[in-house]
Structure 1
Amino acid sequence: MSIEKTLFAAADKMRGSMDAGEYKHIALGLLFLRYVSMSFERLHTKLSEDEYSDAEDRDEYLAESIFWVPEKARWSTLAKQSKDPKIGIMIDDAMRAIEADNETLKGALPKVFGKESIDRAMLTGLMDLFSNLKLEGSKADFDLIGRIYEYCIGEFASSEGKRGGEFYTPKPVVDTLIEMIEPTRGRVYDPCCGTGGFFVQSEKFIDAHKGQKNDIAIYGQERNHTTYGLARMNLAIRGIFAEIRWNSEGTLLKDAFPDERFDYVLANPPFNISDWSGDLLREDTRWKFGAPPVGNANFAWLQHIHAHLSSTGIGGVVLANGSMSSMSVGEGEIRRAMVEGDAVDAMVALPGQLFYGTQIPACLWILAKDKSNGVAKDAKLRDRRGEVLFIDARKMGALVPGSRKQKELSPDEIVQIATAYHAWRGEPDAGAYEDVAGFCKSATTDEIAKHNFVLTPGRYVGAGAVEDDGEPFEEKFTRLVGELRGQFAEGRRLEKEIEDRLGALQ
């Protein structure tokens, strides 16, 4: 069992009957405290041993992108008092002290440890557990803490069911969008960033492709305040500095970046939200393709994201499948305008059961501002104006080991989806694009119009080739007819048996 699973299993056992939604802020808050103390104390020791450095100079820590941790907030100080009846209050005070000394963390850290309802023995147990986490004193420690943090967020989302899944996008879905969009340079934006999963995976993508983290700038907005704090802790754990904004009205009603444009937008908006204040935004300039229905925010999110793309920007959006075909209250007309306006680059139908706590099937919308792909300047890319790529991945995915409901895409399947998209765009090293029956199809606007601008990939990709099982047609036909006749006979027998039993009861 991996250290992430082992640590989560041990920590989760301590919560007992406590609700996962409340407990996650306790467990993840303590893990964050362990992290910032660890990174601070390592540099503090190094500076103390250098006669030309001052271990109490906060600028030394700022220069290394490490948070300043006051004496009373350090893990070593608190761990010695872990059995004190007032340890919860001490931890809350530690969180406040860290926020006071680090402006970027202001309002982000949980302060729930001193509540009367919190079991002191649980706090002590968690502190002992995290204190015993073996660390090597290298950068790998920070990577490990980040992995543990990400794993715990995912597992808590699973425990919370639908409520937790609302703020957490499953890793395979995030990975698929990241591999398709490839945010390696420029400005990245998530208008409903949840716990920051898209940002974390963007950084991982850059690392995997040997890019520079400093080449991207990250922006986000989140409506749920506790999730906003969790996102900031999640990013801080990894040393990712982002400009994330919070307001209680939400992104659609109060856009934190109204005049900004971004090279990449990645988003998993809440599906089919009806209370998005659409009646107050009928004349909003973001609705280039038509005013979204008051009762469903799906096309408000799509247009908000498209409006925030730079002149060559690409956006990836996770939405419920209904967004591909709904005709209610003008949605069909908006979808038509988006296709005719070359706003839709690609559509991907995902397998079911990918999301925690909901069986609603989802899809990916890939949006673009310039589908000519800058052909006039870069002949390597194909001009895809007047076309949309459809990918049907519904048959992909497999159940997560040990789960009866949860599915995930494999790394190979994610690469297959992304490669088809990159080849279609004409990107170097992606190979030549070809339609594959049952999987992908490049359809023209005229073809889409014949389907009344419904964007469900299954309508376009057709059926895949059926594998030949080697049985001659004549033999197979005779066998199947025989089986069918046998089933008819069994049906008649059961019908007679039921009638006889009903007759006996009269």
Structure 2
Amino acid sequence: MPQSSAQVTAAEISRIAGVTRATVSNWRRRHEDFPTPSGGTDSSPLYDLEAVRAWLAARGHVSAATPAEELRTTLRLRAQSGGSGASEGLLLLVLAAAGRSPEELTAVMESPDADLVAQAQRDATTAADAVPGAVPVRFGAGDAAVLRALYACVRDEGGQAALGVLAERELEDSAASGAYLTPAPLADLIARLIPGSASSVLDPACGGGTLLAAAARRGARALYGQDNLPVQALRTAVSLTLTAPEAEVTVRAADSLRADAFPDLLVDAVLCNPPYGVRDWGHDELAYDPRWAYGVPPRAESELAWVQHALAHLAPGGYAALLLPPATAGRASGRRVRAELVRSGALRAVIALPVGASVPLHVGLQVWVLQRPEPGGPARKSVLFVDTAADAVTGTTAGGRGGAAVTERTRSGGRSASLDWEAITAHAVGAWQVYTRNPDAFEGEPGVAHAVGVVDLLDDVVDLTPARLVRASRAEVDPAELSAEVEAARRGLVGAARSLERAAGRERWSAAGASPREWRTATVSDLARGGALTLLRTVPEGVRSRADGDGSGRRGMRPETARAVLTGSDIMRGSIPTGDPAELPGHTAPVIAVGDVLVRAIASADGPMSRVAGEEEAGALLGLHVHLFRPDPKRLDAWFLAGFLGAEENIAGASTGSTVLTVSPGRLRVPLLPLEEQRRYGEAFRHVHALRTEARRATLLAEETARLLAGGLTGGQLLPAREAAKGDAVRGRGDDSPH
């Protein structure tokens, strides 16, 4: 609908066009016909929306904005014009819209404004009956544009995408701070730390419901949530109703510590990512609360209040897993409570995560695993400590593909998406599972996992920091084994350096001239509609993506018969498929074929974003966080497609999110070039890929070799060669020194 008075920012133009802010700034400088600002300030200009859309349409950019981006922009414009329906009503509308077919949603979108608003009102009222505590909101004529955008977003991108946009806007409007989603890989890790199959699960600080959704994927059928922000509580209720329709969902809005909505509830498991560093959590008014069975939490230790709140809601023998800041493990004020948690056997494990695992990104968070003691149960003699900090950024890379494994250490705080979650989960969950089977016989892994006796922990400080306790076990490393590991790494480094030299010697480019080349582009969505490629993804059983077409590529291969699963980390580090097919329960996964273009679904600057499948990937299943593009070889060259799809600016323009950047595949753009010219670009991109792979491999091997040498020398397992030291000393005296 025409909205000539609507104004948009440069950031919104970049989202509409599917490009970066820098590109919009470049358009303003280079194109005289770019729309002039119609409002705002010199530093923050505003542009007429319809003028911008007309300018973009003339250059082939009109279809770049995803429905989610259109919804985001329309919500802001609605706030300017004073739409009548609150965001709570829109959240309810998502639930109703998600139950309609694409054809029904299209019909509603194409109806006149009055009919559209009336239908939305009926849908929201119906959904309110299905969500306890929800209050329906009336929509007015001024809401027609946003209602139309919401229906389009649900139809094309699903209910979860629409929920994310709505909650994002509501949190901005309420000036809430500290509200963010727990990254999905971290939520899955935390859920896997609960042994067995928990039927009932509580999250007393549920936020957007990521942890409860992870529990539902593992079989939980009674989901309870509470959050202090009403918009978060409603969002979680709607989200869980969509993702786990067979589960009983109960979510309440209130402060869990001050106003527990489930005072008598005992569950099989508690999962929680509570707020950190909160001083005003109710210390004085809750001083005699019966939940403090392990000691009254100090005023500065709100985290220990959440720990005991979780234990109070567990049935005897039930488990809790909480994501906590590292200071909780060692602050002097919490020593007495920590000592009682250890002494009673309630604390079972502390797992340190790499920096960047979740907000705050500059801190290495920890997962505490607790178990409510059972009357007459076994005495707990030790606590498990795991340090996964070594699994940051990437886990393994291969010599070409399939060579020696190398681990890259964290050097700075990165985003959650940059971490090797497969390696982090394998170390954390693997050590925990072995430990729970027989704690007394647990041998651990030097530098990674170590079981420490309760008596050894109960000293004057009761410091539960995993890095301090795990590193103390490194003296157990065998000198001969370490020496052999160092030599293998050194040989790999020499080979990698030679391969890098060969890759760097290939020249496959020339200068474009006085100015960069420009070309017309099309989105992946446009190319898919035109039959130039097919977009496939791994989805829950029974779900069929609109982009999947006729489902080609799904050969009915059962996970247990597949070689492996190709993950996003495999693409990032250039390895063969390493994922476990058992990690895809209840999902339908496409089978990868030679020539498929594979793009990571989580954006990061670490390693390549795309690659072309070869014989080593053929027959593997597609991982959850990978997009598969199957080009028609008569119209698209695979390496040409991979090169442009994985380009930094292309990925940035098609990504959304804050903590985790998710790539929207339909928004990626591809130049429209003749096939012969595509092949020339494709050959160049093939060599670029080889160069990047070899450079990363050499860097990782150099880091690993240096780390092993330094650790061995300082740990006493390796000794410096006497001949080398003598030779260096002689050379240091200079040629004219007396001998």
TM range, smaller chain = 0.5 to 0.7
User: Which of 449, 452, 455 is equivalent to 2:464?
Assistant: 455
The CA deviation string for residues 182-237 of structure 1, in whole angstroms up to 9 with x for no partner, is 4624321111222222221122123xxxxxx6xx4222222211111101110111
Residue identity matched to 1:387:
S
Task: Pick which of 279-288 and 178-187 moved more.
Answer: 178-187
Does the 8 Å contact 2:354/2:392 carry over to 1?
yes
What letter matches 1:124 in structure 2? R
Matching residue within 171, 189, 208 for 2:184: 171
Listed as ranges, the matches of 1:115-126 within 5 Å are 121-126=145-150
| 8 Å Cα contact 2:391-2:423 kept in structure 1 | no
Deviation at 1:395, TM superposition (A): 2.1
Partner of 2:267: 262
CA distance in 2, matches of 1:484, 1:256: 74
Q: Distance in 2 between matches of 1:244 and 1:414?
A: 29
In the alignment, is the contact (CA less than 8 A) between 2:435 and 2:442 conserved in 1? Answer: yes
What is the alpha-carbon distance in structure 1 between the residues aligned to residue 727 and residue 193 of structure 2?
A: 46
Helix, strand or coil for the counterpart of 2:134?
coil
Mapped partners of 2:356, 2:330: distance in 1 = 20
Inter-partner Cα distance in structure 1 for 2:125 and 2:89:
17
| One-letter amino acid of the counterpart of residue 385, structure 1 | R
Aligned to 2:318: 313
Equivalent in 280, 285, 292 of residue 290 of structure 2: 285
2:383 aligned with 1:388:
yes
SS at match of 1:322: helix
Q: Work out which of the residue numbers 71, 80, 105 in structure 1 matches 2:110.
A: 80
- Alpha carbons of structure 1 residues 451 and 181: separation in structure 2 relative to 1, 3 Å: farther
Superposed, 1:100-115 pairs within 5 Å as 102-107=129-134, 111=137, 114=140
CA distance in 2, matches of 1:92, 1:201: 31
> 1:38-53 residue pairs with structure 2 within 5 A?
38=101
Alpha-carbon deviation of 1:345?
Answer: 0.3
2:192 equivalent to 1:186: no
Change (3 A) 1:107 1:157: closer
SS in 2 for 1:172: helix
Pick aligned residue for 2:337 from 313, 334, 339: 334
**Equivalence map 1:13-28=2 (5 Å):** 13-16=70-73
AA partner of residue 15 (structure 1) = R
Q: Tell me, what secondary structure is at the counterpart of 1:355?
A: coil
Equivalent residue number for residue 94 of structure 1: 122
Aligned Cα root-mean-square deviation (Å): 4.4
- Aligned letter for 1:349? A
**Residue 11 in 1 paired to residue 11 in 2?**
no
Q: Is the 8 A contact 2:93 2:123 kept in 1?
A: no
Paired position in structure 1 for 2:432: 421
Q: Secondary structure at the match of 1:323?
A: helix
In 1, Cα distance between equivalents of 2:449 and 2:427? 11
Q: Aligned partners of 1:29, 1:483: CA distance in 2, in Å? A: 78
Question: Aligned pair in 2 of structure 1 residues 115, 325: CA closer, same or farther (>3 Å)?
Answer: farther
AA in 1 matched with 2:250: I
| Letter in structure 1 aligned against 2:351 | V
CA distance in 2, matches of 1:220, 1:272: 21
Question: Which amino acid is 2:97 matched to?
Answer: R
**Native 8 Å contact 2:386 2:428 kept in 1:** yes
In the aligned structure 2, how far is the partner of 1:484 from the partner of 1:274?
A: 60
| Matching of residue 444 in structure 1 with residue 453 in structure 2 | yes
Residue matched to 1:33: 96
Deviation at 1:451, TM superposition (A): 6.9
Whether the 8 Å CA contact 1:108–1:233 is kept in 2: the answer is no
Cα distance change, pair 404–298 in 1 and its aligned pair in 2 (3 A)? closer
Tell which deviates more after alignment, 358-367 or 468-477: 468-477
The residue type paired with residue 148 of structure 2 is T
Aligned-partner Cα distance in 2 for 1:456–1:384? 23
> Does structure 2 conserve the Cα–Cα contact (< 8 Å) formed by 1:11 and 1:27?
no
Cα distance in structure 2, aligned partners of 1:180 and 1:194: 20
Provide the secondary structure at the position in 2 that maps to 1:279.
coil
Is 2:151 the counterpart of 1:127? yes
- Amino acid across the alignment from 1:308: H
Distance of aligned partners of 1:115 and 1:29 in 2 relative to their CA distance in 1, 3 Å threshold = farther
Any idea what SS the aligned residue of 1:468 has? helix
Cα deviation per residue 1:145-174 (whole Å; 9 max; x = unaligned)?
4775788799999999x9676342111221
2:689: which partner in 1?
none
Which residue pairs with 1:360 in the alignment? Answer: 363
Paired with 1:236 and 1:307, the residues of 2 have a C-alpha distance of: 27
Q: Paired residue for 1:228?
A: 233
Correspondences of 1:362-377 after superposition (within 5 Å): 362-370=365-373
Deviations 1:102-140 (A, max 9, x none): 25354177x486596x6x54543443454456xxxxxxx
Q: Percent identity?
A: 22
Rounded Cα–Cα distance in structure 2 between residues aligned with 1:157 and 1:356: 20
Unaligned stretches of 5+ in structure 1? 42-73, 134-144, 207-212, 375-382, 486-506
Q: 1:473 — aligned with what?
A: 720
The letter for the 1-side match of 2:450 is K
* Residues 392 and 458 in structure 1, CA contact (< 8 A), matched pair in contact too: yes
CA contact (8 A) 1:158 1:165 kept: no
Question: Structure 1 pair 398/13, CA: closer, same or farther in 2 (3 Å)?
Answer: farther
Distance in 2, matches of 1:336 and 1:484, equals 55
TM-score for both structures, normalised by structure 1: 0.67
TM-score by length of 2: 0.48
1:344 and 2:374 aligned? no
* Aligned residues of 1:92 and 1:112 also touching (Cα < 8 A): no
Give the total of aligned pairs: 406
Contact 1:372–1:385 (8 Å) recurs in 2 = no
How far residue 35 of structure 1 moved from its aligned partner, in angstroms, is 1.0
Shift of 1:247: 4.1
Does the C-alpha gap of structure 1 residues 30 and 103 become closer, same or farther in structure 2, counting only changes over 3 Å? Answer: closer
Alpha-carbon distance in 1 for matches of 2:164, 2:66: 11
- The answer to whether the 8 Å contact 1:320/1:361 transfers is yes
For 2:530, the equivalent position in structure 1 comes to: none
> Which amino acid in 2 is paired with 1:192?
A
Cα distance, 1:426 vs. partner? 0.8
